[in-house]
Amino acid sequence: MKKTVRILCLVIVILMVAAGCRDGEEGNDETDLNGEWTGSIEIPSQPLDIIVNLNNDDEWNGTISIPVQGLQDYPLSSITVNGTDVAFFMEIQGQQISFDGEYKDETIEGDFTQHGQTFPFNLTKGGRVEESEADLLSVETDEGTLYGELEKPDGEGPFPVMLIIPGSGPTDRDGNSSGIPGNNNSLKLLAEGLAEHGIASVRYDKRGVGNNLEAAIPENELHFNQFVNDAVNWTELLEQEEDYSHVGIIGHSQGALVGMLAAQESNADAFISLAGAGRSIDEVLYGQLEAQLSGDLLDEVDVIMEKLQQGEEVQGVSQELQSVFRPSAQSFMASWMQYDPAEEIAELDMPVLIAGGGRDLQVPSSEAELLHDAKPDSEKILLEKMNHVLKEAPEDEQNNMETYGNSDLPLADGLMDGIMVFLNENEFLE
């Protein structure tokens, strides 16, 4: 992990008296700017998802929401529209925070500035899938409604169905992250591949992303088991539906551990781990940091991890480590550390497939070996050229990473075949 520049943290204070919206400078009335815009501020290592509503009734007014920080419909203090130039501002505790962008082809892109620091931001008109565009399901949770997309095969059911759980970070149901330019659509391709073989699937955006943007849990209140509860709720919903003959779970990366834990609490008929770690996150993370840090910083990582494992909060984290161990993320990290994937997968009493890639930069194929050793009756496929987003990739890091934003690349050769052999052998399609 690279040493980070100073990471911006928006200080959100809900004022007792909200500032009123007012029109900005004279400009062209771009009526197609009206409506909801969704996107993110591209802060390094921690993109911040936002929702902006713009409206022009004689004068421009609008609001901004930042779900992960608990900010909902906060009024914009000024909006300026001049041709294709769009700027809007918010005032918090006397500070003016600005968004200076350009409108083109249903997008607004530009610069976000606060405290003299500037980061790119991007917004897309709508951004969330409407019911007319996709077959959406919903599930009620203690922390709000979640929406998922159903992919169905042609023909009449009942069909077997797989729940597809996304990986770490601000990841959507298609396997894309706002922190990475472009889309790989790995999980969308997976769902489409399953449908071609007669298997339905449900995949969902993580909280704070896409259709589930408003279901975000503030970072300082988030715990790992909330991800597990979401997956359990989805699994139970599918188990109750008569349209599905069998219910299985596929977890990618962090979602593999989420899926293991959800499978223990449900009646799932099969479990598939894609690029899932075989060690606890503290071991995985330490290995990544050890390769990039040394001296005092690495010693500090040791101390931080030891305290987090004991449930203690750590103050005064060095700036270089803030992107990983910032105070607001510590409780989540501590809760994640409590789970050992090797121990959890051994508890499963259903057919298990473990898939790993030889060119995975995040989770090497040795992690798949650890999972298989922990559950010897599982089936295993190792694809030499597959990387973390389930595509075939070159060996060098730069070209490997370029596949993360290329939706034209298919899934790695052999992955879908391996999944179907496993499901057929275990009578999942019957």
User: What is the structure's pLDDT at 130?
Assistant: 55
CA distance 228 to 152: 24
CATH assignment, 31-125:
2.40.128.120
pLDDT band at 127 (very low <50, low <70, confident <90, very high): low
| Digit-coded pLDDT (tens) for 335-367 | 999 999 999 999 999 999 999 999 999 999 999
Q: How far apart are CA 262 and CA 228, in angstroms?
A: 6
pLDDT of residue 15: 22
Q: Is the pLDDT of residue 132 over 60?
A: no
Region at 16 (left for phi over 0; alpha for psi -120 to 50; beta for the rest): alpha
Which two tokens mark 89? 């501002």
pLDDT digits 0-9 by tens, 194-227: 999 999 999 999 998 888 888 888 888 999 999 9
% helix, strand, coil for the chain, step of 5: 30, 30, 40
Give residue 86's pLDDT.
93
What six digits make up the tokens of 22? 């007012």
Domain residue ranges of the chain, discontinuous segments joined by + = 31-125, 136-280+339-425, 282-335
Q: What average pLDDT does the chain have?
A: 87
Contact in structure between 86 and 80 (CB atoms under 8 Å): yes
For tokens 């000024």, the residue is 78
| Whether the bond into 158 is cis, omega within 30 of 0 | yes
What integer pLDDT is reported at residue 2 of this predicted model?
A: 36
pTM: 0.78
Percent of the chain with pLDDT over 90: 61
Query: Residue 93's pLDDT is what?
Result: 64
Three-state DSSP class for residue 350: coil
Structure confidence by residue, pLDDT tens digits, 10-36: 322 222 222 223 333 333 345 588 888
Assigned fold of 136-280+339-425? Rossmann fold (3.40.50)
Work out the percent of the chain whose per-residue pLDDT is above 70. 89
List strands edge to edge, sheet with 244-252. 136-141, 144-151, 200-204, 159-165, 244-252, 270-274, 352-357, 379-383
Q: How far is 234 from 308, CA to CA, in rounded Å?
A: 30
Residue 48: per-residue pLDDT: 79
Helix (H, G, I), strand (E, B) or coil at 56: strand
- Which of 53, 63, 52, 68 lies closest to 10 in space, CA to CA? 68
Least confident of 127-131, 270-274, 303-307: 127-131
Closest CA to 40 of 188, 206, 170: 170
The residue-averaged pLDDT of 76-85 equals: 90
- The set of residues, in sequence order, having a beta carbon less than 8 Å from that of 104 and lying 6+ positions away, is 84
The residues near 332 (Cβ < 8 Å, ≥ 6 apart) are 219, 222, 223, 224
> Where do the DSSP E strands lie in 24-83?
35-41, 48-57, 59-66, 71-75, 78-82
What is residue 133's predicted lDDT score, i.e. its pLDDT? Answer: 57
